[in-house]
Amino acid sequence: MKKIMHILFLSCKKATEMIEKKLNFKLSWYEKIQLEGHKMMCSACKNYEKQSKLIDIGIAKSKEKDFSQEDINQLKKLINDKLPNIN
C-alpha cells in the first residue's frame, strides 16, 4: 500500500521538495495532484507546508536595517584612503 502511495502521491522527501518548489515556482498540474493527494494522507507533510510558509513570512519580517552615520563616515574615509593608489 505504501509503495503504491509513493508512486502515485510521492514520498515525504519528494513531497516536501515539491512544497518548496511550489513556494518559489509553479507546479505542473500533475505535481499539484500528487502533492495534494500526498497531503491528504500525511499530516507531517501538511505541518511542514504550514510551517515552511510561516518561516518565509518570518524571514520577510526580520529583514530590518540599522546602521549608524559613524559607520558611513568610517567607510568614506576607508574608500578615500584607497582611491589615490589606483589613479
- Residue 13 in the binding site for other proteins (CB under 8 A): yes
* Alpha carbons within 13 A on the beta-carbon side of 32: 5
Instruction: Rank residues 33 and 73 by Cβ distance to other proteins and give the closer one.
Output: 73
- Residue 36 in the binding site for other proteins (CB under 8 A): no
- Residue 30 in the binding site for other proteins (CB under 8 A): no
The C-alpha atoms of residue 83 and residue 87 are separated, in whole angstroms, by: 7
Residues at the interface with other proteins (CB under 8 A): 2, 6, 11-14, 16-17, 20-21, 23-25, 43-45, 47-48, 50-52, 54-55, 57-63, 65, 67, 71-72, 75-76, 78-80, 82-84, 86-87
